[in-house]
Structure 1
Amino acid sequence: MTTPTQPQAHTSIEDYLEGEQGGDIKHEYLAGQVVAMGGASDKHGFIAGSLYAALLPAARRKHCQLFIADMKVRVDHDTGSYFYYPDLLLTCDPDDKESPYYRRHPCLLVEVLSPSTERIDAREKLFAYRLLPSLCEYLLLRQDRLQADLYQLNDEGRWQHKVFTHPDDALALRSLDVAVTLHNVYADVSELLSPAG
């Protein structure tokens, strides 16, 4: 969750990365501007944690790196460099170890949405993340209702958008050759799995 702060002077990437190592609050970096992130809810943690647990065995089998919450992704663009904290980051590039604090070549990024972050995650980050040549999947998971939005790069190089809303729907993630049901992802948020949810 990002929270706009007062306009500030341009911060260098080096100063930003150094500041993140010692701070208690995480910040995202938007072409020189540093933006504080708010705390996450219990539902947010349950959803991200369940997906991480479901994907970790497959990530290990494929010798990929799977991170939850604290690993930044770096996006470089004409307008500058951007650092975001996705909820889950998967990279299968063995050389993607330029820094212990960020990755440049993820193949899968996941964000758990809240009403306050939905616009940023579903628009700004969707645009920014798709600038990454390595990215083939971007998954958005809602915490206020049972819904997953999966953006996948098809064999023709076009992005396809699929929406899943039923507990038995399976998210087929090509980057790990694995399928995870929404029931599994939302298992610890039972009120969203019930018919009234």
Structure 2
Amino acid sequence: MIATTERRYSLEEYRAIAETSTEKCEYHDGEIITMTGGTATHSRISRNIVNFLDNNLEGTNFEAFNNDLRIWIPKYRCGVYPDAMVVDGQLQFHDGREDEILNPLLIVEVLSPSTQKYDRTDKFEMYRSIPSLGEYILIRQERPFVELYRKQSNGWLFSDCAGLENSILLDSINVELAMTKIYRNVIF
């Protein structure tokens, strides 16, 4: 991620830039952050997750989305693009826009060397301010390892899963996700 620090931008200026930009960019309370490209492994994992979620949520009230839909986080005045997410029921749009939602239930980030610290700390702090969020999943690229944070009444419960022979239960959507599905076509 590369921040533009020359000046601060209004949300309206950001939206105008984002609509015409050839690069994906996030908004962080006046700063525009250009997103770096991903690897083939990152892309495979993201695709695998969205495909799995989409297939397994058919006929339910849940809907999976890829990284083209932005989440607006009011408390931090941020618009970010997770690698995948699930929404329960109707989408709640920010400012009536169809490219910014407010109500993800489950968010997935595929970790990269350049973003893993941010995804675990500042970005997770921002995500935790979203009232609808129930689960946050971090997926490593270099080995089969998943970190899962689940909202509880007294905070966030952490668990992890390692090895292709295992699976994780996504409580928020009542789906079991096999590690082999996450890492399909990924070579370690």
TM-score by length of 2: 0.93
Instruction: Report SS of the residue matched to 1:139.
Output: strand
Aligned to 1:42: 40
Map 1:174-185; keep pairs closer than 5 Å. Answer: 174-185=171-182
Query: 1:34: Cα distance to partner?
Result: 0.5
- 1:81 partnered with 2:77: yes
Map 1:1-197; keep pairs closer than 5 Å. Answer: 2-5=1-4, 7-77=5-75, 80-97=76-93, 98-154=96-152, 156-189=153-186, 191-192=187-188
Instruction: Report SS of the residue matched to 2:65.
Output: strand
What is the letter of the counterpart of residue 46 of structure 1? Answer: R
Instruction: Report SS of the residue matched to 1:121.
Output: helix
Q: Which moved more, 1:60-69 or 1:158-167?
A: 60-69
Query: 1:171: Cα distance to partner?
Result: 1.7
Alpha-carbon RMSD across the aligned residues, in angstroms, is 1.4
Q: Which moved more, 1:88-97 or 1:125-134?
A: 88-97
The whole-number CA distance in structure 1 between the counterparts of 2:102 and 2:6 is: 26
Q: Given that residues 152 and 160 in structure 1 are in contact (C-alpha distance below 8 angstroms), is that contact kept between their aligned partners in structure 2? A: yes
Query: 1:57: Cα distance to partner?
Result: 2.5
Instruction: Report SS of the residue matched to 1:107.
Output: strand
What is the letter of the counterpart of residue 96 of structure 1? Answer: Q
Instruction: Report SS of the residue matched to 1:21.
Output: helix
Percent sequence identity is 26
The whole-number CA distance in structure 2 between the counterparts of 1:105 and 1:92 is: 8
What is the letter of the counterpart of residue 38 of structure 2? Answer: A
Deviations 1:25-44 (A, max 9, x none): 01111111101111011000
TM-score by length of 1: 0.89
Instruction: Report SS of the residue matched to 1:167.
Output: coil
Query: 1:95: Cα distance to partner?
Result: 4.5
Q: Across the two proteins, how many residue pairs are aligned to each other?
A: 186
Query: 1:157: Cα distance to partner?
Result: 4.1
Q: Given that residues 93 and 105 in structure 1 are in contact (C-alpha distance below 8 angstroms), is that contact kept between their aligned partners in structure 2? A: no
Instruction: Report SS of the residue matched to 1:46.
Output: helix
Deviations 1:109-143 (A, max 9, x none): 11001111111111111111001010000000011
What is the letter of the counterpart of residue 91 of structure 1? Answer: V
Instruction: Report SS of the residue matched to 2:77.
Output: strand
Q: Given that residues 91 and 105 in structure 1 are in contact (C-alpha distance below 8 angstroms), is that contact kept between their aligned partners in structure 2? A: yes
The whole-number CA distance in structure 2 between the counterparts of 1:10 and 1:167 is: 45
Query: 1:175: Cα distance to partner?
Result: 2.2
Q: Given that residues 71 and 89 in structure 1 are in contact (C-alpha distance below 8 angstroms), is that contact kept between their aligned partners in structure 2? A: no
Where does the alignment leave 5 or more consecutive residues of structure 2 unmatched?
Answer: none
Aligned to 1:195: none
